Structure 1
Amino acid sequence: MNGLKEEKKIRTQSRIVREIIETLVLTILMFVIINLAVQNYDVDGPSMEPSLHDKERIMVDKVSYHLHDPSRGDVIVFIAPPDPQLNYVKRIIGVPGDVITIQGTVVKINNTILQERYVSPSYQGNPYLPIVNKMVPNGSYFVMGDDRKNSSDSRLWGFVPRQNIIGRATLVYWPLNESNSGFLPDVSSVFAHVTGKAATASSLSSNNALKDSTFGTGELAFFAMPGFLLVCSRYRKKR
């Protein structure tokens, strides 16, 4: 009798160990897949105020642009052309084939003046020389920060090559309860009246850069917790 109990106990322990190992393997696979699909970054600087605040954490979608081209109005993270050691975050204003004119604070795309609701009057300005009828070349993008007075962007150093784009910023998730927490708003209506069809696409650090922020122990625990609870639930049911 004692032998049967001992054998049952060993089988139970073996099952628990196996389920824990399976859960850990599944969690690691999920963690790897998530890191391939999304990346989180720390905003470092004011160049995207008021849309993004300094020190906020944002989630970047790295998959969508494998399915379709970047669009006007998208907030993107990219390898900075002035310094490939840095990642910048800016808003796409012009896509391949667009003709850009910027005189003072007036921005024109294909001769259409943009009414940019995402640019706050308190951050409006332009410390750079005028740009007149500059065409965005194929495979490149024209980007600007929403803080027009304090952003080093395409007005200064030119276009962003398509291969430099890491992904689209989609979500502000830390800190909580900020004025802009949550998903970044869709601003495609700002560009809805832009005429002409664009061609298909084939600090500075303290002002523009992002810090690559890998998942920490707490975030890993967040992803591991559902699997752990599942194991506990399965164990309780089988006892």
Structure 2
Amino acid sequence: MVSQDYHILAQFTPASLDRPRPRLYGHSLARYLFELAFMVIAIYTLVNLLSVRFLVDGVSMSPSFESGQSLFVNRLDYLFGTPQYGDIVVFHNPSNTAEDYIKRIIGLPGDVIEIRDTILYRNGAPIIETYVAEPCTPHSCPDNRWELGDNEYFVLGDNRNHSSDSRLFGPIHHSLLVGKVVFRYWPLSDIGIINR
């Protein structure tokens, strides 16, 4: 009885089960490599659309950033939000838009920024700045006053005695902003998220 059932079952077994299975190793490896390459290209493209890489060149933002450090700058931050006090930004040089600078936002639209006796004031109140490298000298910080218009920002380097910034070229327009510095990726010893 058992042998008869087996014989009947064998008649209905598809012939494809009797054939040896094709080897898929070469096909799977090629597909895996294609998918991996596609993902790498997609991630690289996405990162470049959302951010730019910036190499610090100079000492104007010391000690916050040193020459030779590499940073990611978020391009989208100011498309959907507005700059805030203390944001570290990359922007096009107003005199030469092919050149980019990195500075800290000190003044927002509508603010009055003033330097009196080397002290920095915003809307009449002195600004407390723990990130400044050294006290500003009278030569680097002569008395002056700026009233910021719509879409204008006042930017300064943290190393005030060695920085070309809004004291020299005035407030910058929002259209010159490249983005907000969000991450330092080189050198590896300094890698990390950037906070104000």
User: Structure 2-normalised TM-score?
Assistant: 0.83
**Residue in structure 2 matched with residue 206 of structure 1 by the alignment:** none
CA contact (8 A) 2:86 2:104 kept: yes
1:183 aligns with 2:193: yes
Kindly indicate whether residue 106 of structure 2 is the aligned counterpart of residue 93 of structure 1.
yes
Note if 1:170 corresponds to 2:173.
no
2:22 is equivalent to residue 8 of structure 1: yes
Residue 161 of structure 2 aligns to a residue whose secondary structure is coil
1:37 and 2:50 aligned: yes
Name the structure 1 match of 2:155: 143
**Structure 1 unaligned blocks of 5 or more:** 187-239
SS at match of 1:146: coil
- The corresponding residue for 1:103 is 116
Q: What's the offset of the Cα at 1:175?
A: 1.3
Q: Give 1:171 shift.
A: 2.0
Q: Which of 74, 80, 84 is the aligned partner of 2:93?
A: 80
What is the CA RMSD across the aligned residues, in angstroms?
A: 2.1
Q: Which amino acid is the alignment partner of residue 8 of structure 1?
A: P
CA separation in 2, counterparts of 1:161 and 1:114?
A: 22
Aligned twin of 1:50: 63
Compute the displacement of 1:14 (Å).
Answer: 1.8
Q: Name the counterpart of 2:82.
A: 69
* CA-to-aligned-CA distance 1:53-79 (integer Å, 9 cap, x gap): 111111211121111111111000011
- In structure 2, stretches of 5+ residues that fail to align are 1-18
Alpha-carbon deviation of 1:12? Answer: 3.3
Residues in 1 aligned to 2:123 and 2:42: alpha-carbon distance in whole angstroms: 46
Checking the alignment, whether the CA contact within 8 Å between 1:92 and 1:141 is kept in structure 2 is yes
1:184-227 Cα offsets, whole Å, 9 max, x none, are 233xxxxxxxxxxxxxxxxxxxxxxxxxxxxxxxxxxxxxxxxx
Runs (4+) off by over 6 Å: none
Cα distance in 1 for partners of 2:105, 2:117 equals 19
Please say which of residues 111-120 and 19-28 is displaced more in the overlay: 19-28
Scaled by the length of structure 1, what TM-score is found? 0.69
Residues 127 and 85 (structure 1), Cα distance of their counterparts in 2 relative to 1, 3 Å cut? same
| 1:22 Cα deviation after fit | 2.1
Pairing 1:159–2:171 present? yes
Larger strand proportion of the pair = 2
Contact 2:118 2:143 in 1 (8 A): no
Measure how far apart 1:120 and its partner are.
2.5
Q: Read off the aligned partner of 1:25 and give its amino acid letter.
A: F
Give 1:116 deviation, angstroms.
Answer: 0.6
Match of 1:127 in 2: 140
1-side partners of 2:79 and 2:140: how far apart? 35
How far did residue 128 of structure 1 move? 4.7
Q: Give the letter aligned to residue 177 of structure 1.
A: S
Report the CA distance between 1:137 and its aligned residue.
0.9
Q: Residue 33 of structure 1: CA displacement?
A: 0.5
Structure possessing the higher radius of gyration over alpha carbons: 2
